[in-house]
Amino acid sequence: MLDLLGISRSQDIITINESLAGIVSSEIGQQVYVKYYASYFPTTINPPSTTSSAPAFDFNAAMRQIRQNVDADLAAGRIDQAEQYMDEQRDYLQTQGYYIRKLNQAYFAFYGLMRTPRLTPTPSARLFRISGISASH
């Protein structure tokens, strides 16, 4: 909000805003799930099959790679190519069991995939620590 008003153009403000929105939505989402939906789903989870030798799909790593490729296309002015690539990757993610209605820049911004982790604690890591949620959660 401060960034939109022109008060602050800080990447930390953007990160704090995204992180806080994520924390609040996770906490509210969990409460809504428990109150209204948990009774509809079984509490037992089937263990993964050990017969497959294929490595497990890493959604977060895939999304980081997609974002990096999209950023490179956009930086080079290849907007149509970036859009096509995101559509193709959305289709690929579906084959891996991840259904995303529309994979675009707004998706990355909403889910906080705009930054790569750094060695020093970020404002979002501090917010997670304050809220009692693991930053890797």
Give the DSSP per-residue string, 33-78.
IIIIIGGGS-S--PPPPSS--SPPP-HHHHHHHHHHHHHHHHHTT-
pLDDT at 65 over 50: yes
Mean pLDDT of 114-137: 50
The confidence score (pLDDT) of residue 69 equals 92
Mean pLDDT of 103-117: 67
What does each C-alpha distance from 11 to 22, 101, 115, 124 come to in angstroms? 16, 27, 9, 11
